[in-house]
A = this chain, B = another copy of it.
């Protein structure tokens, strides 16, 4: 593995999950692995969990960490080929990526979807440009269409909490006042296809994710039906893929409630956070004993640390 761009960069999900769970027992065991190695964290968007957990992961491995909020602290980047740069962009990613590669050993980047143009977002121009021009490994800290550190986290969390070999896992769309990217849902769906599970997606009609991502995963437009006998309910809002970036603001009937959770097989409740309480989910659900969102967030450190460890062993 050179870059950790998507779930497809995991050669064996099961093995990675086992390694991460093992690493979690002695997180400082590889503290010398990163000596004199520097990771640069480049943020084009806000971040709490990713910002802190990736730093913590790097520190656990003994790395130096340089954090940069690219927007505001740096120059506005140009991604086009042959552009006459007489407008608002000051530096081409071709130079930026090559230059940064000389100051760091690993680069982690967050660059959200703009939700303006589907083709643009799905081309992943920021991450792909950095991967093209950088000469060091790149880690995706949530790109326009994927959040593979989150999905690896989710796999670890499901493994830790599952009570049967082949749990039923439901990915449920939920309402949200603003248009959100499909990144978390996409990577979760990709990841689940590598896991031995009975996996189903439930969302309102018109909120289908990209078919090249969902593939053969069953979709149930009836949320309550989908929840039946579930062992895990994974909740996330996303805006429309077909009517790109359009949110569905008025259907609060999709909110996750205690009553809906009663349909499940005592399911664990998961969410990547941040979550808007009483819009996406009721307080009663996220505050219940079955809510594992905090434990899930804790695993962000170990997902990041496993990825960085594998990268460090490779350079």
Contact = CB atoms under 8 A, between A and B. Distances in A.
B51 A95 contact: no
A11 interface: no
A276 B85 contact: yes
Contacts of A59: 38, 64
A95 to B, nearest CB: 6
Which secondary structure characterizes the binding site on chain A?
Answer: mixed
Contact of A78 (B46, B95, B277, B293): B277
Contacts of A276: 85-86, 89-91
A92 interface: yes
B36 A48 contact: no
Contacts of A31: 36
A293 B85 contact: no
A96 interface: yes
Contacts of A274: 75, 90-92, 95-96
Contact of A46 (B75, B277, B286): B75
B66 A55 contact: yes
B38 A51 contact: no
Interface in A32-86: 36, 38, 40, 43, 46-49, 51-53, 55-56, 59, 64, 66, 68-69, 72-75, 78, 82-86
25 contacts: A28-B36, A43-B73, A47-B73, A47-B74, A48-B99, A51-B73, A51-B74, A56-B103, A69-B73, A72-B72, A84-B279, A85-B279, A86-B279, A87-B177, A91-B274, A92-B277, A95-B273, A95-B286, A95-B297, A98-B294, A99-B273, A99-B298, A102-B294, A102-B297, A103-B301
